[in-house]
Structures are given as C-alpha cells and as structure tokens.
Amino acid sequence: MTSRRFEGRVALVTGGAAGIGRAVVDRLVREGARVAVWDINTAALDDCRRMHGEDRTLCQQVDVADEAAVSAACAAAAKHFGRLDILVNGAGIVGPNGPFWETTPDAWDRVIRVNLRSVFLVSRAAMGMLIANGWGRVVNIASVTANEGPQNLSAYAASKAAVVALTKSMGKDLATTGVVVNAIAPALIATDLLKQLSPEYLAAALARIPMGRAGTLDEAASLVCWLCSEECSFSTGAVYDLSGGRGLS
C-alpha cells in the first residue's frame, strides 16, 4: 500500500458515514484524499466529521435518490473542494426479506431508488468534472446476489444486477475519457446491514461462503481503494468478486 497515494485527490462517497462507505472514507482520508461524505444519517455524519475534521471532509446529508438534492449537493462539494477525481457509489439498503409477491410496490420502488437510481443520478451529476479532468475513478457497490438471485431478496438482487449492467455500460461509454468505472460484488460483509437479515437467511448465506466467514470492512475498503487509484488503469466495466469464494460457484 502506498501511504499517500491519494494526495491531492478529491473523492465523493455516497453512503459514506457507515458500513463499507465509511471504511472507504477512512482509508481515503488516511491516504491523503479530501472527501465529500454523503449520507442520510445525521448522527453518523457528525461522527465522521468529528473523526476527520472539516479540513479533510465535507459531510452532507443527501437523499441520493432525489435529483434536485443530488445536483445541489454536488455543486456544493465542487465549490468547496474545487475539483472531483473519485466517486464511490456506496449508498444502499437491503429492503424487504420475503417472497417477491409479498413485497409492496412502494417497498420495491424504495430499494430501486436507493440502490440503482442513486448510482445513475450521482454519476450523472459528477461526470462533467471527471471528464474535464481527463482522469477519474468510479466504483459502484454491487453484490454477489446480482448473479445468484437469492430467495426472498428479489428487490435487492434486481437492483444490484442492474448496477452490474449499468457499470458495464458506463465503462464502455467512458472508455476513451480517462475515467474508468468498475464495481465490486461483495458477499456478506460485517456491517450493520446484516442486522436487516433474518437469522435463518444469515446462517444460510454464511454456509454458502467457502471461506466460512463474512468479509471485513478493511477487506472491502482495500479493494475499493485500489480501484480508485492510479494502479487500476486498464480495467473498466469490470465487476470484482469479494465473496470468499461464494461468487465463483
């Protein structure tokens, strides 16, 4: 690991106050970046601000599924930092856990809005700055469920499968601009999102991981930050497995 490989870079991380997003923010700041941290949770944003200070982070409460909110927050971040180099689309929710026919349209729409629409909206708002730089990195957080279509998680799996397809299309659209776009596909990562899963589903999911454990936040942040770095230069539109072997079956 190059200890200051993000010196001079500015990143935007959605869902950045908790879970994988927070681990990524912590790593980026530690390695020299300044970071706009977007989240809906004000208490978690306050904690992030206290840890890193206002000189290294701009903590913004943003509904990432709302076009006007995204545009305003992106403009504020650009004004504050003067540039943008890196985007990590990490905001996400698990949503309903049960048979698809028991999922209400409102619950379905909420998952799609947070997990998929936000990736489109935030990427669209940020892209002008990245293209203007002639260099940029975008990392979308997908899921191993995108390939599996697991039982009782229809909305979540569908949203993450769409993020995979969107990542591939974005990578091709931007292939000659200097902006590369990739995704990671985690299996279970030890975050608070696991609390939204039923004990039965959690036990079954762990049983499907050949390594026999959930991934760690450090492992997720390490992969994301490599994809955000200059070291990742000839890979775009790709999806990187982070599943302890589960995604390879």
Q: Which residues are known catalytic residues? A: 156
**CA distances (Å), origin 8, targets 84, 123, 193, 200:** 10, 21, 32, 46
Question: How far apart, in Å, do the first and last CA atoms of the chain sit?
Answer: 30
DSSP annotation of 115: I
* Residue 189: both structure tokens together: 């990562």
Beta bridge partners of 125: none
Beta-carbon neighbour count of residue 84 at 10 Å?
Answer: 23
**Residue with token string 């203007």:** 132
**Residue with token string 């936040």:** 217
As a whole number of angstroms, the distance between CA 141 and CA 80 comes to 26
Name residues whose C-beta falls within 8 Å of residue 158's C-beta, 6 or more positions apart in sequence: 112
